[in-house]
Amino acid sequence: MVHGQVLDNFNKLVEFRRRRIEAASYAVPGALWAVVLIGAAVSIFGSYLFKIESLWVHGLLTILLTTMIALLVFFIATTDHPYSGSNAIEPRAYEIILRYLQRYN
């Protein structure tokens, strides 16, 4: 009975590890990046097709649109690789658990 529970827990541990590794290696496909970047460029350049009398207002609207799109692209890039870069998720929680398990084994 205990042996079966140990094997079941070990299988769950292996499965969760596999899922973490798979999640860490996942990336946004290149085709999706192309769609995002081309769509961003079309949206920004399309804003010049609107006729607005005030050049200042037109420039402000274009800058706001560009800023919004840039923030969305930055968000996608940051969440594309959550375990690398300056905004990376740190392994601290796993290290604490590892020390805890090593202490009690």
Would you give per-residue pLDDT tens digits along the chain (105 residues)? 677 787 888 888 888 888 877 776 677 788 888 999 999 999 999 988 888 899 999 999 999 999 999 999 998 888 777 667 776 667 787 788 888 888 876
- Least Cα distance to 36 among 84, 77, 82 occurs for 77
CA gyration radius, the chain: 24
What is the rounded CA–CA span in Å between residue 23 and residue 88?
Answer: 14
This prediction has a pTM of 0.60
- Least Cα distance to 40 among 61, 63, 66, 58 occurs for 66
